[in-house]
Homo-oligomer: A and B are copies of this chain.
Amino acid sequence: MKIPEQGILLRIFIGESDAFKNRPLYEAIVQQARSLNLAGATVFKGIMGFGADSRMHSAKFLRLSEDLPILVEIVDAQEKIDLLIPFLDENVKEGLITMEKVKVIKYRHS
Does A104 lie within 8 Å of B93, measured CB to CB? Answer: no
A2 lies within 8 A of B89 (CB): yes
Give 1 or 0 for each of A32-60: 1 = CB within 8 Å of chain B CB: 01100001111111111111111010100
On whether the beta carbons of A56 and B39 are closer than 8 Å, the reply is: no
In the bound complex, what is the Cα–Cα distance between A99 and B101 (angstroms)? 9
Per assembly, the copies of the chain total 3
Task: Give a binary string over A83-103; 1 marks a CB under 8 Å from any B CB, 0 the rest.
Answer: 001100100111111111111
- Contact in complex: B99, A103 (CB < 8 Å): yes
Give the size range of A's interface with the partner: 35 or more
With an 8 A cutoff between CB atoms, is A63 at the interface? no
Contact A41 B52 (CB under 8 A): no
A residues 3-30 touching B (CB-CB < 8 Å) = 4, 7, 9, 11, 13, 26-27, 30
Residue pair B4, A99 in contact (C-beta under 8 Å): yes
Q: Are B48 and A46 in contact (CB under 8 A)?
A: no
Given A93-B109, A96-B107, A99-B102: A86 and B46 within 8 A (CB)? no
